[in-house]
Every structure is written in C-alpha cells, then in structure tokens.
Amino acid sequence: MSNSKKAAKNSSAGQRVGKLSEDQIKANFSEMHPPLSASQAYIEAGRCYFCYDAPCTTACPTGIDIPEFIKRIQTGNTKGSARKILQQNIMGGMCARVCPTEVLCEAACVRNTHEGKPVAIGLLQRYATDEVIEKKVPLFERLMPTDKKVAVIGAGPAGMSCAHRLAAWGHNVTVFDKNEKAGGLNEYGIAAYKALNDIAQKEVEYILEIGGIVIKPGVRLGVDFTLDKLREEYDAVFMAIGLAGVNRFKIAGEAVDGVLDAVNYIHDLRQAERMSQLPVGDKVVVIGGGMTAIDIAVQSKKLGASEVTIVYRRDKANMKASEHEQQYAQINDVKLRYCSKPNRVLSKDGQVTGIEFEVTELDPDGNLSETGKTYQLEADVLFKAIGQTLSADQLGDSASSLTIESGRIAVNDVRKTSLDNVWAGGDCVSGGEDLTVSAVQDGKLAAQSIHEYLQSA
C-alpha cells in the first residue's frame, strides 16, 4: 500500500482528501527560498568582509570556514568552495536548507551591525554544494582499506556523518536503519517545501560514493539484531537512533480520532506519491513551539486547510522555533497564540471537535503560572508537536547497560557512552540541540574518537 493510500486509510472523520488539486499543491510547495543564480551568488559573496577569526565560523556547530568558502565563490572556484564546506559538514546541502542560520552563522555576521542584514550564508552554501551533490563530483578519496569494522545504528545525519568519515579513513562501515530509505529526519521529518527535488536521497548517494559503506535497511535494534551481538561482531558501534517516542498531552479527552502526531503525518507527507490524496483537516490546531509545530502548520495550510492555529504555552520569545520561522508561518496565514496551556480535548461521538486552553503568564524569572482564565478553539484535527522521547523499545537489549541521563543516552565530549566500544550521537544523546547540523558534528566527533580507538586496539 502506498503512503498516500495508507495516510488516507488512517485519516479521521474530520479530514478529507482532494481539498486541492495536485497542480495547486505543487505550486504551494515551491521553494521556501529559491536558489541563487551565478550572478546573484557572486554579488552576495562580495558583501562578505572575510573577517579574521570570523564570528560566523565560531557560530557554526561544524566549524565550516565560512569566509574561505565564500571567497572561493567570489573567485569562481565553486568546486573548491564545496570542498571547504563538505570537509567539515558532509551534509552541507541539506543543512543549507534546514539549518537555522538566522540564529547561528548569519546572526553572528558583522554585516548586521553595519547594515542590519547579514550575508546570505545559507543560500551561498547551497549554491556551492548543489551542483557537486547533483553531479556526484568526487571531492574525497578513501584511504587504504583497513581490517576494522564499525557498525552504525541509524542512517540519519549523525549516522551518515560518522560513516562517511570512518570510511574515508579506510574502515569498513555497516549502517543499520529501521527505514527503507536512508537519511533519517532529512528524508522523513523535514517540511517538504524545504527539501525539494529528492535532495535528501541525492545527498545520501553522494556520501556513499566514498566507498566502504554498506546500508542494511528495514532492520531494528532489539528486533532484528542486538547491541551485544554488534559489539561482538564489530570493532566499534555508533548509535544514532534518534527519538521514536512521542510525548503525550496528559490531558483529559486526548484519546479520540483527530488527535494526531505531527511527526508521523510529516513522515507520510514526505513519502506521499500524490500529496492531493493526503487527508487534510479544515480547522487545524497545532500544539507546540518548535520547528515541527511550524512545519506541520504551514504544510497543513499548503495542503488546503482553511484555518490553522499554533498554540504555545509560553510567550513568543521562548518558542524554540526562530523568529524567522514564526514569521514564515504567519506569512502563510497560520495564526500564532502564546501563553496558552491545553486543558482538555473536546469531542463528539469519538471525534475531536475542539480544545480548551488555560491562559498562562510568565513572571520576571521566567516561571510559568496559570491564571484560571480559559478559552476554546474549534478543531477537526489536533496535531501534537510537543517533542519526542527515547523509548525503551529503541534501546532493545542495551537499555540496562547504557547510562541514561535526562531520558537520553549519556555521552562524554567525544560522544563515548558508558560502554567501552560504543559511541552515540544525534537526538538520542543528552545535552544535544536537536539540530541537523549538531547531529552531523556529533558524527564527526565520534568518528575521530572511534578512529583513534581502532588505531590503538
């Protein structure tokens, strides 16, 4: 059964398919930010001051030498620019699309001080990497193969970043993933309008060009293999298993039709053969304040929902979604309500009809309190976008042997776990930032540590 048909089959009574034609939806899901032309890239690159000890580079979690890659664009050396980027961030193509540059490198750009407008670093990074990834231009050579074997659990940004670096050093890497396609959240969890033209899969294919990486899809830790078995058969293991558990509202009435998990819906949307066949609500309410909340809200509008509202329990400044993303939601006619805590789900005959909120307030110290004032919103679909957790099922036999901290796997600065030959990175580890670019950096740090471990073994 196709994902479109599966989604339609699992739809609630408040949803229906065919709200918009396929052509209308295709137009709605055009590029969030159109790519730069060659002349536009040249002009934009010329705005860079090429700062010494550039604050933009410091702000980049993967440490890309931003002034250097921009300088290479300005001199017409696009291939050299891409090499400079991908040396530090092998998933630079997707990160150019999904990385919150407005709060990282671009926020640190000194042009903000002089002009109030940073250099468009994200768009320049995309300009440099797109052609290389599209045409699979070889920029890396694998060293002489070693006899060392590394198992990577999870083919998302952290796992593929780690796999590529280890393979480049000559080690043999096997990547185990629960999905049929590699890419993790880049393939299944990013808004469709941010990842057009199958870029996630093209990036995976580019990574595999290095050689020495084998992907085994459709297999799960604790079901098809165990951590103990991998530790016996491989010299090292890197766990990049993400977060599969979904937080509950823990409020009355949520167990009715029409209360949906945003992550699962985005997964179906990204894999749909025809988005016009996806079930779409009319009045949609999204609970949450992060990127997933923005993504599901905007996409609901683009799919034909007449009214979409995001409701967050704290104020605007405390939303995890950036100011830029909040503005993008509003441009797409999504309403944002702040300081509202879900109280109870309203329903009739087992179908959601709305939700009641209690107004909250923040004191000067940022503590949240309830006011006793309530209001209701109508809804035929209610999306939960309130975060994910590490479920016990994900860990399989490793649950009792790994140290868990704040509900996630505890690691040190080089992403080493409490087990002697096991590392971990990405969303599943404690202290992470839940960003694609941070997951890539986790993979790099773990790969370096694993490489040193293998050399000394």
φ and ψ of 64, to 5 deg: -65, 135
**Whole-number pLDDT of residue 248:** 77
- Rounded (5°) CA angle 218-130-326: 80
What mean pLDDT do residues 419-431 have?
Answer: 95
For residue 41, what pLDDT is reported?
Answer: 98
pLDDT at 9: 45
Q: What is the pLDDT of residues 229-262, one digit of tens each?
A: 999 999 999 999 999 877 777 888 999 999 999 9
* pLDDT range class, residue 12, cuts 50, 70, 90: low
Residue 1 pLDDT grade (very low, low, confident, very high; cuts 50, 70, 90): very low
For residues 191-208, give the mean pLDDT.
95
Mark whether 290 and 178 lie in a shared domain.
Answer: no
In a domain, 34, yes or no: no
258 shares its domain with 382: yes
d(CA 162, CA 212): 12
- Whether residue 7 has pLDDT greater than 60: no
- Domain limit, last residue, from 134, 168, 184: 134
**Which stretch of 61-65, 190-194, 199-203, 236-240 has the lowest confidence by average pLDDT?**
190-194
pLDDT in tens, 54-73: 999 999 999 999 999 999 99
Q: What is the mean pLDDT of the chain?
A: 93
Same-domain check for residues 319 and 368: yes
- Structural domains counted in the chain: 3
Radius of gyration of the chain (CA): 23
Please check whether residues 351 and 373 belong to one and the same domain: yes
Q: What pLDDT digit, counting tens, does each position of 27-59 carry? A: 999 988 899 999 999 999 999 999 999 999 999
- CATH code at position 311: 3.50.50.60
Residue 340 phi, psi dihedral angles, 5° rounding: -140, 125
pLDDT of the residue at 4: 47
Domain assignment of residue 37, yes or no: no
Confirm whether 358 is domain-assigned.
yes
pLDDT at position 8, please?
Answer: 45
Residues 160 and 254 in one domain: no
| Residue 13: band (very low, low, confident or very high) from pLDDT cuts 50, 70, 90 | low
Q: Of 134, 166, 185, which one is at a domain's C-terminal end?
A: 134
What pLDDT score does 393 carry?
A: 76
SS3 94: helix
Does 273 lie in the same domain as 230? no
Lowest mean pLDDT among 8-12, 168-172, 401-405: 8-12
Percent of the chain at pLDDT > 70 equals: 97
What local confidence, expressed as pLDDT, does residue 398 receive? 74
Q: Beta strands 351-362 and 368-378: pairing type? A: antiparallel
CA–CA gap between residue 358 and residue 67 (Å, rounded): 48
Domain end (from 345, 363, 386): 386
pLDDT tens sequence across 141-150: 999 999 999 9
pLDDT at 111 over 70: yes
Res 370 pLDDT > 70:
yes
Task: Inform me whether the pLDDT recorded for 167 exceeds 50.
Answer: yes
Under 8 Å between Cβ of 351 and 257? yes
Strand order of the β-sheet with 351-362 is: 340-348, 351-362, 368-378
Residue 366 lies in a domain: yes
**One domain for residues 294 and 234:** no
CATH number reported for the structural domain that contains residue 57 in this entry: 1.10.1060.10
Q: Are residues 211 and 287 in the same domain?
A: no
Tens digit of each residue's pLDDT (9 = 90 or more) over 266-314: 999 999 999 999 999 999 999 999 999 999 999 999 999 999 999 999 9
87 and 216 in a single domain? The answer is no
pLDDT digit string (tens) for 91-109? 999 999 999 999 999 999 9
Phi/psi for 320 (5° steps) reads: -70, -30
Q: Which residues contact 93 (CB under 8 A, 6 or more apart)?
A: 126, 129, 130, 133, 199, 202, 203, 206
Q: pTM for the whole thing? A: 0.93
Kindly state whether residues 426 and 382 are assigned to the same domain.
Answer: no
- CA-wise closest residue to 191 among 340, 332, 371: 332
357 pLDDT more than 90: yes
CB atoms within 10 A of CB 241: 29
Q: Give yes or no for a contact between 203 and 181, defined as CB atoms under 8 angstroms apart.
A: no
- Domain membership of residue 206 (yes or no) is yes
Shared domain for 272 and 332, answered yes or no, is yes
Please check whether residue 118 lies inside any domain of the structure.
yes
Cα separation, 418 vs 400, whole angstroms: 11
Q: Are residues 376 and 399 in the same domain?
A: no
Query: Which structural domain range is residue 220 located in?
Result: 149-244+390-456
Mean pLDDT, to the nearest integer, of 336-343? 96
Q: For residue 6, is it within any domain?
A: no
> What SS3 state is found at 280?
strand
In a domain, 35, yes or no: no
Q: Is the pLDDT of residue 378 over 80?
A: yes
